């Protein structure tokens, strides 16, 4: 039997991505075009600009994915695209292009939930590196700019099943990173920058009280900590320093971390480090609790925030204490990509779970 090749397409937010994955296991190509430079000046993703950039990028990106994998569209067995959750205008670019390719080539179309993609990234990483398959059930944290969800992931037939254990009631963790970075006059996206600046600050300098969750104790809330950072800035008279930093950084193209650090006083670095620790501890505590509740064999973490080095370190230390193994994809598979979409589509190809030409895009799409 020849390898089953899937062309994956992902355009749910600010990354245009296309990839070829064989048998849901081997990444033949994984092309990503980031729109960060386009949205940077606005300090956040502008939906209309995202759609326009996807339109510009999608055709060359798919061509690049095919070329790098040294295959043609004829060799592909199915075309998979993200159909939600995400920005509808952005999703429609990838989904509509996938439909057109499917129609023109006579190949089946598979629609994939973006969150399912992030979860499959964990298995794809192991398979692609020829490592043993992680055991299930897994307590799984999907944590990104748009989502903070805890799931119980089980095997079901050729694929996986998902049960929601907790979710954010307001902001996603990545959103909190980005908003706090913006409040402090740091660049966009804030997550990676906070990650790199935090080691220069003292984590115990500022104490943040964790929001008590009524109802489900595994739910999250990150709007409170964002407000607490704002209040700290105001009560400690940091506004002028923030404005000065914004003015100074405007004139510097692609500043290095060293330059960012030079423009941050110790109080700012301490605030960054303390904020990061508070968010990381909350994420790790609840994921470990979820693992205990469901008697999980493993823990999976995925999504953009799972790229955070402090989070990965904390998970490794704390899970070793508990004797449970944590699986996190490499950075390129943590943040948005299309290889994870092609991998999530593979079980659907095996069970011939195909999507029709009428398949819509959804802003909200629970697993």
- The contacts found for 66-69 with CB under 8 angstroms, 24 or more apart, are 66/7, 66/20, 66/29, 67/29, 68/20, 68/28, 68/29, 68/31, 69/5, 69/20, 69/28, 69/29
DSSP 3-state percent helix, strand, coil across the chain (nearest 5) = 50, 20, 30
CB of 307 to ligand KG4, least distance (A): 4
Cβ nearer to ligand KG4, comparing 144 with 149: 144
CB of 107 to ligand KG4, least distance (A): 27
Q: Which does 308 bind (CB under 5 to 8 A by kind): ligand KG4, Zn ion, none?
A: ligand KG4
Cβ nearer to ligand KG4, comparing 5 with 283: 283
- Comparing CA positions, the residue from 125, 117, 122 lying closest to residue 147 is 117
The two three-digit tokens of residue 24, written as one number: 């849901």
CB of 145 to Zn ion, least distance (A): 7
Cβ nearer to Zn ion, comparing 21 with 71: 21
Pairing state of beta strands 298-302 and 138-143? parallel
Task: Mention every residue, 6+ apart, whose C-beta is less than 8 A from residue 237.
Answer: none
- Size, binding site for Zn ion by CB under 5 A: 2
Pairwise CA distance, residues 200 & 222, whole Å: 23
CB of 309 to ligand KG4, least distance (A): 6
Q: Which does 335 bind (CB under 5 to 8 A by kind): ligand KG4, Zn ion, none?
A: ligand KG4
78-103 in b/e form (b: 16+ CB < 10 A) is bbbbbbbbbbbbbbbbbbbbbbebbe
Q: Which residue has the tokens 């607490």?
A: 228
Pairwise CA distance, residues 343 & 110, whole Å: 11
CB of 162 to ligand KG4, least distance (A): 17
Which residues of the chain form contacts with ligand KG4 (CB under 6 A)? 13, 144-146, 174, 177-178, 189-192, 195, 303-305, 307-308, 335-336
- Comparing CA positions, the residue from 230, 141, 221 lying closest to residue 179 is 230
Cβ nearer to Zn ion, comparing 113 with 268: 113
Q: Which does 347 bind (CB under 5 to 8 A by kind): Zn ion, ligand KG4, none?
A: none
Judged by CB under 5 A, the chain residues 335 through 354 that form the site for Zn ion are 336
- The contacts found for 210-214 with CB under 8 angstroms, 24 or more apart, are 210/278, 210/282, 213/169
Q: Which does 159 bind (CB under 5 to 8 A by kind): ligand KG4, Zn ion, none?
A: none
Q: Which does 178 bind (CB under 5 to 8 A by kind): ligand KG4, Zn ion, none?
A: ligand KG4
Cβ nearer to ligand KG4, comparing 8 with 192: 192
Cβ nearer to ligand KG4, comparing 102 with 260: 260
Q: Which does 112 bind (CB under 5 to 8 A by kind): ligand KG4, Zn ion, none?
A: none
Residue nearest ligand KG4 by beta-carbon distance: 304
Cβ nearer to ligand KG4, comparing 13 with 92: 13
> Where does this chain bind Zn ion (CB under 5 A)?
144, 336
């Amino acid at each position: 039997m020849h390898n089953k090749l899937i062309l994956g397409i992902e355009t749910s937010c600010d990354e245009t991505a296309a990839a070829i994955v064989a048998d849901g296991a081997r990444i033949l190509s994984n092309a990503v075009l980031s729109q960060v430079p386009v949205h940077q000046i606005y300090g956040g993703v502008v939906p209309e600009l995202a759609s326009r950039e996807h339109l510009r990028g999608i055709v060359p990106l798919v061509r690049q994915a095919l070329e790098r994998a040294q295959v043609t569209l004829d060799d592909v067995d199915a075309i998979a695209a993200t159909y939600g959750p995400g920005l509808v205008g952005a999703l429609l670019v990838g989904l509509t292009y996938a439909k057109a390719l499917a129609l023109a080539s006579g190949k089946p179309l598979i629609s994939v939930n973006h969150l399912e993609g992030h979860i499959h990234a964990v298995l794809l990483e192991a398979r692609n590196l020829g490592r043993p398959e992680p055991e299930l059930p897994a307590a799984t944290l999907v944590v990104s700019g748009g989502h903070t969800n805890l799931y119980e992931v089980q095997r079901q037939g050729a694929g996986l099943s998902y049960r929601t254990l907790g979710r954010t009631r307001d902001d996603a963790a990545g959103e909190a990173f980005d908003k706090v970075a913006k409040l402090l006059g740091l660049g966009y996206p804030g997550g990676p920058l906070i990650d790199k600046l935090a080691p220069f600050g003292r984590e115990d300098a500022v104490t943040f009280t964790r929001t008590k969750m009524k109802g489900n104790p595994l739910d999250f809330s990150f709007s409170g900590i964002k407000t607490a950072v704002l209040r700290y800035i105001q009560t400690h008279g940091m506004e002028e320093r923030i404005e000065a930093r914004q003015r100074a950084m405007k004139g510097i193209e692609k500043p290095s971390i060293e330059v960012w650090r030079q423009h941050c006083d110790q109080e700012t670095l301490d605030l960054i480090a303390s904020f990061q620790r508070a968010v990381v501890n909350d994420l790790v505590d609840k994921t470990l609790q979820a693992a205990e509740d469901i008697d999980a064999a493993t823990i999976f973490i995925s999504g953009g925030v799972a790229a955070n080095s402090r989070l990965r370190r904390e998970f490794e230390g704390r899970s070793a204490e508990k004797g449970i193994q944590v699986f996190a994809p490499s950075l390129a598979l943590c943040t948005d990509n299309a290889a994870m979409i092609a991998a999530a589509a593979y079980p659907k190809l095996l069970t011939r779970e195909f999507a029709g030409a009428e398949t819509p895009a959804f802003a909200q799409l629970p697993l």
